[in-house]
Amino acid sequence: MNQIRFDGRVAVVTGAGNGLGRDYALELARRGAKVVVNDLGGSASGVGASKDAASRVVEEIRDLGGAAVANTDSVATRAGGAAIVQTALDTWGKIDILISNAGFLRNNRFDDLTDEQIDPIIDVHLKAAFYVGQPAYRAMRAAGYGRILFTGSASAMFGHAWQANYAAGKGAMLGLSNVVALEGSAYGIQSNVILPTASSRLEGEMNTGYLEIPEFAKSLQSADFSASEGRVTPAFNTPLALYLVSEACTATHGVYSANSGRYSRVRICASEGWFAPMGSTPPSVDDIAAHFDQICTLGEYSEPMTPYDEFTAAAKAARKQGVHS
Ligand code: NAD
């Protein structure tokens, strides 16, 4: 029996015509949600448009006996974002869940990236999160309930050669989601980021030029893929994504990774660090050099949720190191 259900819930999944978004939309519908299947229907590098991708998935959902409606607006414009959310409001009167997932790649080495490779990538990953996220959040705030899942990437959290444009857009999901989670906590809105891993048509865009970077090539060539056999599929990401947008999930302000069937929490943390002697004299550059190992040691670390938590963590370190009582 499916314990986690979405009966009565209205979900918007962007980029749901293929890959991860399609799988999220199908499973949401199987578990009772009414789904807006958004997809512009362009290529894996964001060229062109077609109504086919979204309508195919809507048909699949209806064939399963589920409820779905297609939307083919672009997430990368203010008007498109508003129209996508309006489709949910016009059809079912509300939006409970937003999975912001649409996107594409245009890889190149950092110094060769052109505006045609930077601007559309920032638009579809970063600006789209505002264009779709803001109208969705407004409706959720009015209703006092919402679940938002932004799509980040390990390419941003950990780094991936030849993806500076993409990593900049995806890395921004961390800051954006953290703030949406904090502000949304007053209105029953939770926000998290997923770092998915799945073979999809985006693989075709993953040219291998980045192998010219020795450190990156070494990491790729020595990687152990033995646990991932048959598990780098959208379906291995969907359970985590759907749990994070379920009513049962109370986690917010987080980043979660799905990789080869391993589900983990990814977090930004601060080392205990080195506390400069009390007083108003700042340390010198030489003091930093002398304590740099201690600054870098992550033996004990804190996980600030706001900039103010960091003050608390610093004071705790000062007491521990005997420079402050
Ligand atoms: P995909 O190409 O199979 O699906 C992405 C969908 O987004 C496509 O159907 C495309 O038409 C749609 N889309 C693109 N631009 C759009 C726009 N402007 N408006 C509306 N729809 C648009 O790719 P996927 O692998 O399923 O990727 C889904 C998301 O996950 C993307 O944001 C991607 O960057 C991210 N991601 C994927 C992986 C992975 O391993 N596949 C890893 C990390 C992050």
Q: Measuring CA to CA, how many Å separate 276 from each of 136, 178, 317, 322?
A: 45, 29, 11, 11
CA–centroid distance, 9 to ligand 1, in Å, is 23
- Distance separating the N- and C-terminal Cα atoms of the chain: 56
- C-beta separation of 43 from 121 below 8 A: no
The model's confidence at residue 14, banded by pLDDT at 50, 70 and 90, is very high
Rounded Cα distance, 285 and 282, in Å: 10
Q: Which of 18-32, 225-239, 246-260 has the lowest mean pLDDT?
A: 225-239
Residue range 146-173, pLDDT digits in tens: 999 999 999 999 888 899 999 999 999 9
Give the tokens for residue 218. Answer: 């070494």
Q: How many beta carbons lie within 10 A of that of residue 47, not counting itself?
A: 10
CA–centroid distance, 288 to ligand 1, in Å, is 43
Higher pLDDT, residue 294 or 300 = 294
Place of tokens 């932004």: 150
Q: Is 237 a pocket residue for ligand 1 (Cβ < 6 Å)?
A: no
CATH class of 10-266: alpha beta
The model's confidence at residue 219, banded by pLDDT at 50, 70 and 90, is confident
Residue range 255-272, pLDDT digits in tens: 999 988 889 999 888 899
State whether residue 35 is helix, strand or coil.
strand
137 included as an active-site residue? no
Structure confidence at residue 325 (pLDDT): 66
State whether residue 175 is helix, strand or coil.
helix
The model's confidence at residue 239, banded by pLDDT at 50, 70 and 90, is very high
DSSP one-letter code for 263: E
Segments making up each domain of the chain, as ranges: 10-266, 270-320
Rounded Cα distance, 319 and 300, in Å: 14
The answer, yes or no, to whether residue 229 has pLDDT greater than 90, is: no
CA–centroid distance, 30 to ligand 1, in Å, is 21
The model's confidence at residue 207, banded by pLDDT at 50, 70 and 90, is low
Structure confidence at residue 1 (pLDDT): 60
Closest C-alpha to 37, from 62, 59, 54: 54
Residues 6+ apart with CB under 8 A from 259: 154, 195, 197, 228
Q: Is 120 a pocket residue for ligand 1 (Cβ < 6 Å)?
A: no
Structure confidence at residue 220 (pLDDT): 80
pTM comes to: 0.94
| Pairing verdict, β 34-38 and 10-13 | parallel
Q: Is 84 a pocket residue for ligand 1 (Cβ < 6 Å)?
A: no
Q: Is 198 a pocket residue for ligand 1 (Cβ < 6 Å)?
A: yes
Rounded Cα distance, 21 and 222, in Å: 31
The model's confidence at residue 306, banded by pLDDT at 50, 70 and 90, is low
CA–centroid distance, 271 to ligand 1, in Å, is 35
Structure confidence at residue 149 (pLDDT): 98
Residue range 83-128, pLDDT digits in tens: 999 999 999 999 999 999 999 999 999 999 999 999 999 999 999 9
Q: Whose CA is nearest to atom 34 of ligand 1?
A: 103
Once rounded to an integer, what is the mean pLDDT over residues 228-252? 96
Q: Is 169 a pocket residue for ligand 1 (Cβ < 6 Å)?
A: no
The model's confidence at residue 290, banded by pLDDT at 50, 70 and 90, is very high
